[in-house]
Structure 1
Amino acid sequence: MSIHSKKSSPLFSAFKIVLKILAIICWVIALFFCIVSFALISENVPAFLVGLLIFSLPCAFIGCVLWHFSSDKKKKNRTGITEKQYDRQQSEKIIGNTADSSKESSVLNQIQRSDNQSMQSKGKAMVMPRADTLNNQVNYQVDSTFIDAAKTADCAVVDTETTGLGKGSRLLDIGIVLIENERITATFSQLTNPGTANTSGAAAVNHITQDMLYGQPAPSQVLVPVLEAIKGLPLMGHNLAYDISIINNEANLAGIAKLQPSQIYDTMDLSKEMFPDASSHTLASLLDRLGVKEPEQHRALSDALQTWQAYQLLCKMDAPRAETVEERQRSKQRGKAKTNDVMRARYLSGKSSEPVNEKPEGVQLEAHAGENLSGSALYQDVLRKYPRGSYFWVTLSRDFIQSGKYKDYPTVFVYLDGEGIGFLGARLMAKHWGQIPDGSVVALAHTSNCADETQPYKARVELPAAHEPVDLTAYMKVYSNEL
């Protein structure tokens, strides 16, 4: 499945017109021989057959072949679809509502609406980027290496990160990988500052903070040279219709020409073709089925590179295959982890996700699952030091549960500014066993954003994605007298 589709040119268009004219001439000649043959049928039957078979049919066949090569292919195949098909598909698709991602999209959209409603009810506005950072790079230029590589590229792999999944979402990050002769020839990556804040739901997935957007160019400043560079190139992506819709929305706001690819290659469509019974067709699930164990980073350039990697591996598959039980289980776990990433944004409700205290020294844990701490009710004085919904740095220390049903089970105690605020219960610890190393460990935590001040503060700590529960009986503190 090669992708050596070049940009269209006037010479190529003229060549297609010539082919069509030749095809018409062949059909006229075939029709002429048919008329002559029918005129002779009453006098000489063999003459009719000779004229029809030897002259008419070959000319008609040659005309069909010439017409076929002069027209765009309309049959969908594993290498791509035509622009007309793409336009129809894009108009029919509900952005972000594909079969395998509808639940995740629904959660994101619900949280985004919840954030907006919460802010409106409280009379608070979203934290906006500083106005002086919106047009601070008026003379933004794309590296000449990328522009030169685009002139001879066969395809551009595109990915974006945005402020949400619904209509009106704005561009935050764009990544492009240029391909020529099946090789990567150049890459492009740029954060953009659209002048609107990243929603808490989207930030929980792409981890793009407002501080990262300060000083970045506006989307229009980036898209003007970028779209000109890749104009006319076939495009590749994963759920590409969404990325193109975001780019074209920004182009429409900026009053510049929209992105109109001559052909598209969607690895999500290929995933559905090669893994028809798969429970999920997200990029992470597809890579897992293809044997790639690198985690999806949800940043534009890294996702574009992984999309190209997935495409290459899909090209090597001889036939579709079924999803294994293990792959389905891992896909389900990734879905839960992503949902946890999004759901923990509910605690922010439009507030800043920047930690309110200084980060301690230590190894920082990945934040993929917010887990409730046990015993928080005993540490209200410590938690009330910061407003509800605040994010803060905490330190973690391995120990054993001191009392209760799970006494002497291994656990992790959590400390805020040196004072305890709770610990992981035995059931949660079983899902995160082995993820917290010895020594100084640092993680993010936050309190729930409850409007009722009479309710106690509830703390959650951000941990790596949960795994299948482990039986901790063998790790109990049975030697307490020796310690």
Structure 2
Amino acid sequence: MSWNEQIRAGFDLETTGRDPRQARIVTATIVMVDAAGKAVSSAEWLLDPGVPIPEEAAAVHGVTTDRARAEGLEARRGVSEITETLRDLFAAGIPVVAFNGVYDFTVMDREARRHGIAPLEPRPVVDPYVVDKQVDRFRKGKRTLGAVSEHYGVVLEDAHTSAADALAAVQVMDELVRRHPKADLPLDELHAAQARWKAEQAESFEEYLRRKDPQATVSRAWPVEPDE
């Protein structure tokens, strides 16, 4: 039985910014999906990140600084709850599906360290962003979650909310497994393969960038950027 015919989790964060080393968590969702691909339960968090939420970020996910301060959990408590929930899933061998997961898990890593919480060792992670780029390398167009969802016939409502994005990531990955045998690997093999694929993709993109900027670099890390 394939891993995606068993219980798995979708995970997504909305944050204060694009740099995962500096971004603070604003919302988080972990959605549990059953063997049939149906969302059966979810846990959602709204945090007060402890810093102002830039207008640019609030325009994307809809959470303002005032709302986060009024309704959100204290940051350390929220980070701890999210971290421990994910830790329990990984300990149970339940795969966590996250689109462009290196962003989310790097944010989790830095937030945990920031608040004195033991960082995660995220495994097994399934990242449809990495897998899609590997199995359909020459497809033209954007590779955002919205674009990839549309390509695979996944309905993405309320995009850029953590709940919608977490579920869409699982549904996109299910379609990838159905359409591309290369994506249908045992979990341990898939996790290791994604690390290799991400490194290869980064190297190729770096070569492209260096045609104009000889100093350009692209990180090969996955699923967490190393702590500097």
Q: How far apart are 1:318 and its partner, in Å?
A: 4.4
2:31 to 167, 177, 184: 177
Structure 1 residue 191 corresponds to structure 2 residue 46:
yes
Q: Structure 1 residues 268 and 219, CA, compared in 2 at 3 Å: closer, same or farther? A: same
Q: d(CA) in 2 for partners of 1:256 and 1:288?
A: 38
Q: How far apart are 1:174 and its partner, in Å?
A: 0.4
Deviations 1:10-29 (A, max 9, x none): xxxxxxxxxxxxxxxxxxxx
8 Å CA contact 1:162–1:202 kept in 2: the answer is yes
Task: Name the % identity.
Answer: 25
Q: d(CA) in 2 for partners of 1:268 and 1:282?
A: 8
Q: Secondary structure at the match of 1:310?
A: helix
Structure with the bigger RCO (C-alpha within 8 Å, sep 6+) is 2
Q: Structure 1 residues 316 and 162, CA, compared in 2 at 3 Å: closer, same or farther? A: same
- Read off the aligned partner of 1:179 and give its amino acid letter: V
- Read off the aligned partner of 1:206 and give its amino acid letter: H
- Unpaired segments of 5 or more residues in structure 2? 183-228
Deviations 1:440-463 (A, max 9, x none): xxxxxxxxxxxxxxxxxxxxxxxx
8 Å CA contact 2:25–2:47 kept in 1: the answer is yes
Give 1:237's aligned residue.
Answer: 98
Q: How far apart are 1:235 and its partner, in Å?
A: 1.9
- How many residue pairs get aligned? The number is 173
Q: d(CA) in 2 for partners of 1:282 and 1:206?
A: 15
Give 2:177's aligned residue.
Answer: 315
Q: Structure 1 residues 223 and 154, CA, compared in 2 at 3 Å: closer, same or farther? A: farther
Structure 1 residue 226 corresponds to structure 2 residue 82:
yes
2:8 to 148, 155, 179: 155
Give 1:217's aligned residue.
Answer: 73
- Read off the aligned partner of 1:240 and give its amino acid letter: G
Deviating 4+ runs (over 4 angstroms): none
Deviations 1:117-155 (A, max 9, x none): xxxxxxxxxxxxxxxxxxxxxxxxxxxxxxxxxxxx843
Under a length normalisation based on structure 1, what TM-score does the superposition of the two structures give? Answer: 0.33
Q: d(CA) in 2 for partners of 1:154 and 1:271?
A: 21
Q: Structure 1 residues 291 and 180, CA, compared in 2 at 3 Å: closer, same or farther? A: closer
Q: Secondary structure at the match of 1:192?
A: strand
Structure 1 residue 282 corresponds to structure 2 residue 141:
no
- Unpaired segments of 5 or more residues in structure 1? 6-152, 321-483
8 Å CA contact 1:272–1:278 kept in 2: the answer is no
Q: How far apart are 1:295 and its partner, in Å?
A: 4.3
Structure 1 residue 164 corresponds to structure 2 residue 25:
no
Q: d(CA) in 2 for partners of 1:243 and 1:285?
A: 19
Q: Secondary structure at the match of 1:316?
A: helix
Give 1:261's aligned residue.
Answer: 122
- Read off the aligned partner of 1:195 and give its amino acid letter: G
Q: How far apart are 1:243 and its partner, in Å?
A: 0.3
Give 1:354's aligned residue.
Answer: none
8 Å CA contact 1:2–1:182 kept in 2: the answer is no
8 Å CA contact 1:284–1:296 kept in 2: the answer is no
Q: d(CA) in 1 for partners of 2:36 and 2:126?
A: 14
Under a length normalisation based on structure 2, what TM-score does the superposition of the two structures give? Answer: 0.68
Q: How far apart are 1:192 and its partner, in Å?
A: 0.4
8 Å CA contact 2:12–2:104 kept in 1: the answer is yes
Q: Secondary structure at the match of 2:126?
A: strand
Q: How far apart are 1:199 and its partner, in Å?
A: 1.0
